[in-house]
Amino acid sequence: MKFDTPAGTNPIDNKTVVGRPTSRIDGPLKVSGTAPYAYERHDVVPHQAYGVILGAAIAKGRINRIDSAEALRAPGVLAIVTHENAGKLGKGKMNTAKLLAGPEVDHYHQAVAVVVAETFEQARDAATMIRVDYARTKGRFDLMEQKDAPLVGGSSGEGSGAPPIDRTGKFEEAFAAAPVKVDVTYTTPDESHMMMEPHATIAAWEGDSLRLWTSNQMIAWGKGDVARTLGIPADKVRLDSPYVGGGFGGKLFVRADAIMAALGAKAAGRPVKLALARPMIPNNTTHRPATMQRVRLGAGQDGKLTAIAHESLSGDLPGGGPETAVSQTKLLYAGANRLTSMRLAVLDLPEGNAMRAPGEAPGLMALEVAMDELAEKLGMDPVELRIVNDTQVDPEKSGRAFSQRHLIECLRTGADRFGWNRRNSKPGQVRDGRWLVGMGVAAGFRNNLLMKSAARVRLERDGRATVETDMTDIGTGTYTILAQTAAEMLGLPLDAITVRLGDSDFPVSAGSGGQWGGNNSAAGVYAACVKLRGLVAARLGLGDNPEFAGGKVTGGGRSVQLLDAVKAGPITAEDGIEYGDLDKTYQQSTFAAHFVEAGVDAWTGEVRLRRMLAVCDAGRILNPKAARSQVIGAMTMGAGAALMEHLAVDKRFGFFVNHDLAEYEVPVHADIPHQEVVFLDYPDDKSSPLKAKGVGELGLCGVGAAIANAVYNAAGIRVRDYPMTLDLHLDRLPTYRA
Residues designated catalytic: 697
How far, in whole angstroms, is CA 346 from its chain's centroid? 24
Q: What is the DSSP letter of 199?
A: P
Length of the chain (residues): 738
Contact 326, 296 (CB under 8 A): no
Distance CA 353, CA 513 (A): 13
Q: Which 3 state secondary structure label does DSSP give 424?
A: coil
Phi/psi for 14 (5° steps) reads -65, -30
Q: What is the DSSP letter of 150?
A: P
How far, in whole angstroms, is CA 451 from its chain's centroid? 15
Half-sphere exposure of 166 (CA within 13 A, CB side): 22
Torsion of CA 296, 300, 304, 309, to 10 degrees: -20
Nearest Cα residue to 560 out of 571, 546, 544, 570 = 546
478-490 and 517-540 helices cross at what angle (nearest 10)? 30
Q: What are the angstrom distances between the C-alpha of 292 and each of 153, 311, 323, 652?
A: 16, 8, 10, 21
Residue 104 CB: number of other CB atoms within 10 A? 14
Distance CA 315, CA 291 (A): 8
Nearest Cα residue to 255 out of 160, 359, 114 = 114
Distance CA 324, CA 703 (A): 18
Distance CA 244, CA 599 (A): 36
Helix (H) or strand (E) holding 737, with range, is helix 734-737
Q: What are the angstrom distances between the C-alpha of 19 and each of 25, 480, 513, 562, 626?
A: 15, 11, 21, 24, 10
